[in-house]
Structure 1
Amino acid sequence: MNTPCYIRAIGHCVPERILTNADFERMVDTNDEWIVTRTGIRERHVALNGETCVDLCLGASQAALAQAGMDAQELTHVIVGTFSADSVIPSAACMLSHRLGISGRMAMDLSAACSGFLYAVETARALLMLHPKAKILVAACDIVSSRVDYTDRSTCVLFGDGAGAVILTAEPGQGSSEVVDVLLAADGAVGDLLTVKGGGSGTPYKLNDAIRKDFFVEMNGREVYKHAVRNMSGICEEILTKHGLTDRDVDVFIPHQANLRIVEAVGKRLNLPEERVFTNLQKYGNTSAASVPLALSEAVGEGVIKPGHTVLLGTFGGGFTWGSALLRF
């Protein structure tokens, strides 16, 4: 029998600075109507005042710990889903553990781009099977602004920065929700459609080399859209079928907040009406690994998700990676 997994608490954190569509009109050849029509995004929070991945993870983690009434010293494992850690070494998880005042616990980063949160949650579920008494912090954060070319109007308007964090245990607490299941998938054959290659060992550089375009997000938007809609909707259908559920059983659907066109297309394929699909991308843009936990945290905080609700999560990210999860509140 599987060890159960519960979300004991959740929190999020975003930078203070906001870039609106009007700001982008002064930066690149674009306008508010074009951005809103194609993406649904009106503004995004960006870490352009010096905030780092670990800074935002710390804020989200402290919010989750406070909600759980838990001290950081109780944590047994720290996992951070990110592709934009403060440094290659040490990991964001090690730095976050230190900032939380804990040491001697397992800490690691996990990279699955926009799917990083669900990949990290599934990893935590596996750890709970081995260590049922564990109390695991999963944080997901990306400082996408650090890897965005602000002269490329096709990508720079899409992304924002943020972090979300959950505490996972095998025993429920007051107000907790059960992670019923997680399904994950990947396909590296199409990975070149969405990349950040510069700085990796496959694209080595030397001291004083110029920063190349491949250091930033490069994306074939049309093709990414097709794969995102097909794979995210497909794996969400798969997890519902696996558990004998239909669209009528889903009270709230929280998809990766990539852009409104993708969200609407996936919702339509799943036969879910707009009022059951939660979106906050208009305020934050695509925050990569933080996207799903940030939206989940807001949906809980705003009372959109209520006790007794069945919540479906869906994600898609570079790699390509994708996944779904079922939660019961």
Structure 2
Amino acid sequence: MSRAAVLAGIGACLPPRLVTNAELAARLDSSDEWVRSRTGIAQRYMADSSVLTSDLAVGAGSRALKSSGHPHVDAVVVATTTPDRPCPATAPTVAGKLGLGHAAAFDVSAVCSGFLYGLASAAGLIAGGIAERVLVIGAETFSRILNPADRSTSVIFGDGAGAAVLRAGSSTEEGALGPFDLGSDGEGVDLITVPAGGPPPEGGWPDPVPDDYYFTMQGKRVFWLAVQRMGQSAQMVLDRAGWRVDEVDHLVAHQANHRITRRLADEIGLPRERAVSNIAEVGNTAAASIPLALVHAHAAGTLRPGDRVLLTAFGGGLTWGATTLIWPAVDPS
């Protein structure tokens, strides 16, 4: 029996402000029907200006720690595209607010793949004997980087945070994370990006315009690449885990778009009804989407102990990844 990272607790946090499609349609050339038919989204939550990414991360992290039944961890990993500051990382702030003393803390930046990258990082810390318990959080205030006049992005994304506590355990017990597959393709850097989001290159930006400081995405190309890369990554970890596709009880993919999730299920040969979805309620929450989907599915009774779960994500970078998990008995957060 090899040492493995085992899921011990989960938690979520959403800001209080709920924004419906109707509210957005009032200022965009759009409608509730248009948004629902293309994305599957009915509403999303958005943080007020006083709410930081770290605030949402602390909310989700505290619930995950309570769910795990243990108040302390050795490390905190925060996956986010929208840190409180460019420097320093948000994770040390979160660790401090949670009263975790001098726990190791760092951020992971892989956009919508961030939580999976964070899980892999935590699993490595545990497998290497560096940590016994790790708190992994996906947290976003993505609404801050959206162009309010761009209906192609402003109707899709929401804010929120989800978290998981991993503990050292055996690879044979329920909750143990299975094999990981991670990948990237830097040639797709401009497909999902904030064009002027960093320091200017030598000589300055070439005539930057205000829109360059907002998030942009080439939706059609991203759609097909997401299905392809997540499908390939998912099949890779299934093969490594020795699972047949028909043995998978639930697919929990990054909640990007309900059409992507359904096409992905088709791509890997899984019935669409086995794909977990909460995008209608919270929208695309980037790095927070997978843990939020896990928390909501657990609360609904969809995820039951012993269920075989396949996780996969695709995000900017381009980045992607997948892993497997047999769902454990965890306390509600």
TM-score range, shorter chain: over 0.9
Q: How does 1:15-164 map to 2 (within 5 A)?
A: 15-71=15-71, 74-131=72-129, 134-164=132-162
Q: How does 1:1-329 map to 2 (within 5 A)?
A: 2-71=2-71, 74-131=72-129, 134-171=132-169, 177-202=175-200, 212-329=210-327
Instruction: Note the C-alpha offset of 1:198.
Output: 2.4
Deviates most, 2-11 or 251-260: 2-11
Q: Which amino acid in structure 2 is aligned with residue 247 of structure 1?
A: V
Partner of 2:229: helix, strand, or coil? Answer: helix
Q: Which amino acid in structure 1 is aligned with residue 270 of structure 2?
A: L
Contact 1:132 1:169 in 2 (8 A): no
Unaligned runs of 5+ in 1: none
Partner of 1:128: helix, strand, or coil? Answer: helix
Instruction: Note the C-alpha offset of 1:186.
Output: 0.5
CA distance in 1, matches of 2:290, 2:42: 18
Runs in 1 of length 4+ with deviation above 3 angstroms? Answer: 202-206
Unaligned runs of 5+ in 2: 328-333
CA distance in 2, matches of 1:253, 1:162: 21
CA distance in 1, matches of 2:110, 2:188: 14
TM-score by length of 2: 0.92
Report the number of matched residues.
Answer: 323
Q: 1:58/1:98 Cα in 2 relative to 1: closer, same or farther (>3 Å)?
A: same
Partner of 1:234: helix, strand, or coil? Answer: helix
TM-score by length of 1: 0.93
Q: 1:216/1:3 Cα in 2 relative to 1: closer, same or farther (>3 Å)?
A: same
Q: Which amino acid in structure 2 is aligned with residue 55 of structure 1?
A: D
Instruction: Note the C-alpha offset of 1:275.
Output: 2.0
CA distance in 1, matches of 2:23, 2:147: 15
CA deviation map 1:270-298 (0-9, x unaligned):
22212211100001111000000110111
CA distance in 1, matches of 2:276, 2:202: 41
**Percent identity (aligned):** 37
Q: Which amino acid in structure 2 is aligned with residue 288 of structure 1?
A: A
Q: 1:69/1:266 Cα in 2 relative to 1: closer, same or farther (>3 Å)?
A: same
Instruction: Note the C-alpha offset of 1:202.
Output: 4.3
Q: Which amino acid in structure 2 is aligned with residue 32 of structure 1?
A: D
